[in-house]
Chain A
Amino acid sequence: MAPRQSFAGRWVPGEMALLFVLMATLPLWIGPVGLYQYLGIEIAIWMIYGLGYNLLLGYSGLPSFGHGAFFGIGAYAFGLFQLRVFESLWLGMVCAVVAAAVAGAFVACFLSHRRGIYFALLTIAFGQVFWFVSIKWHAVTGGEDGLLNIPRPALELGVISPALSTNADFFYFVLFVLAVVTVLLWRLVHSPFGKVLQAIRQNEERARFVGYNVWLFKWAAFTLSAAIAGLAGSLFSMAQQSAYPDVMSLHASGIIVMMTLIGGGFVSFWGPVIGVAVYFVARDVLGTLTETWLLWFGLVFVLAVIFKPEGIAGAWQEFTGAKGRHALARRAMAGLISAGRK
């Protein structure tokens, strides 16, 4: 076991404090470095999404290539709640999380006895089904246009209800949600549940013979990860004030995988956080230079998978001499491709 940590260290370790400080001060420095406020909102939302996604990919070793579905379901559920029921921030978010969790729980019933490539293919299939439904079910989803003019409700805090209409205010709300999710996930991955998930990733069979109901753990991890994607989706529909099918496409689902891997989700809790930041900054910086920025980013991704599957976090650990899980990353990567083992 790791050396005993202080109480504060167990809730908010140094890296997390750094993330919070960087993000909280973002409105002060993002303008001067040549970027813009809204980018901070996008980054924070996708960090939530990425952290939840890495619970599956990095910690449980379960490659979901259709996770956009749950992000999208969260976005639609939030939008529909505001448009069809009534305007409420908290209830809308609860509705989004529940909808994504229910969809995730349902899908997980078909996935949890699988792993490796079979798991991955099934997630793609389910992802495509949800994406298709979002395009075709005009009466509910608004078809290819999606839901438009979704209101961004005020922050109901009982006595006061400040508006979140400006991006500056909304950014701090998203940051608050990110902080809560980060702390809780940090606790989760170090809890018995998190440790069992990692044990299952390392050796599913042994976990079973030690007495763990592997199916149930995988099911729970998938459902939880889908719920977090739904939470991120609800924030996204607030940010965009719309919800549309694009975020559910295979392409969009691939991007969260790419972010998580480039950042180093296999070797570090912080992998998706790094990957998300790098992706969005690359999009905006490279995007001003060339329209084909995603081609170059994709090439970097290909090279990373071949030469550095530990991602940026892994390279950093190597640089600082911290002992990482490099062998694991390589094996996990090989596993994603070849895991037909039984």
Chain B
Amino acid sequence: MALFEARGIHKRFGRQVVLERIDLSFEAGRLSGIMGPNGAGKTTCFNVLTGRFKPDRGRVVFDGEDITGLSPSAIARKGIARSFQIMSLFDEYSALENIVIALPDVRARGFNMIDSLSADSEAADRAAAVLARVGLAGREHRRAGDLAYGERRALEVGVALAARPRLLFLDEPTSGLGTEATARLADLVQDLKRDHSIVVIEHDMQFLFGLADTISVIHWGQVVAAGTPDALRENKWVQRSTLGAPP
């Protein structure tokens, strides 16, 4: 059975239907892609899957457990972490503190009111390792708000990664990045793929076709095509779409 499944998801805002009968399933150990043009409902879909919005209808199942309608924090504690398209960091904290606060065992003692967190060298070491993995070694003590744009993107992924997620959602991780930085991020995601189950939203086709094992195409709030990158290259809809020719 798939690690994560969404069945028949409906979501509307007022009278506008944003998602209609979305079925998605993500396998463990795979990198699954979601693509589609701007405004297709990709991010809304992510927001429903990670708990920011409750679906009007449909079910979300993670590892056999129904997590529909749970709060974002409850879903996060189940082992689902996400990054944000519009960067969402703790800007006044250093890069290291951003990671430390997201570590599961720090979260577990969130109500500890007496022990100094900055004196916890074990947590700091683990956080430093996460930073190194996303290519931010040497930036530990820089404030997140003072990091360069590309570094902030990497930290976005790092904060999600810090939670040791069983499933990692990345919302347009290359958003706003130049060619070179995008290539570096692709290398990072390729590396993370070795030991993580990942779901990526992208509209950069090249990025996604190079990395994903399977891709679902969302348009007008519906899944219009799904399959391996190779299968999608043959797909009439994808060929005709305004997304540009697949690489």
Q: What are 6 A-B contacts with C-beta separation under 8 Å?
A: A192-B110, A209-B50, A210-B107, A211-B104, A214-B73, A220-B111
Contact A188 B114 (CB under 8 A): yes
Q: Contacting A209 at CB < 8 Å: which of B72, B111, B114, B124?
A: B72
Contact A187 B117 (CB under 8 A): no
Q: Encode B97-127 as 1/0 by CB contact (under 8 A) with A.
A: 1001110101101111111111101001000
Residues of B within 8 A of A210 (CB): 73, 76, 81, 101-102, 107, 159, 162-163
| B114, B116, B162: most-surrounded residue (chain A CB, <10 A) | B116
Could you tell me how many residues of chain A have their Cβ less than 8 Å away from some Cβ of chain B?
A: 34
Q: Contacting A196 at CB < 8 Å: which of B76, B77, B91, B110?
A: B110
Q: Which of A1-9, A63-71, A269-277, A291-299 has 4 or more CB atoms under 8 Å from chain B?
A: A1-9
* In the complex, B187 has a CB within 8 A of chain A: no
Q: Encode A163-206 as 1/0 by CB contact (under 8 A) with B.
A: 00000000000000000000010011011111110110011011
Contact A5 B119 (CB under 8 A): yes
Cβ-Cβ contact count across A and B, 8 Å cutoff: 115
* In the complex, B93 has a CB within 8 A of chain A: yes
Q: Contacting A212 at CB < 8 Å: which of B107, B124, B141?
A: B107
Measured CB to CB, the nearest residue on chain B to A332 is B92
Q: Could you tell me the distance between the alpha carbons of A327 and B228 in the complex, rounded to whole angstroms?
A: 47
Measured CB to CB, the nearest residue on chain B to A325 is B92
Contact B116 A10 (CB under 8 A): yes
Could you tell me how many residues of chain B have their Cβ less than 8 Å away from some Cβ of chain A?
A: 43
Interfacial residues, chain A to chain B (CB-CB below 8 A): 1-2, 4-5, 10, 184, 187-188, 190-196, 198-199, 202-203, 205-214, 217, 220, 325, 327-328
Q: Could you tell me the distance between the alpha carbons of A208 and B110 in the complex, rounded to whole angstroms?
A: 13
**Least Cβ–Cβ distance between A56 and chain B, in angstroms:** 15
Q: Could you tell me the distance between the alpha carbons of A191 and B120 in the complex, rounded to whole angstroms?
A: 10
**Least Cβ–Cβ distance between B157 and chain A, in angstroms:** 13
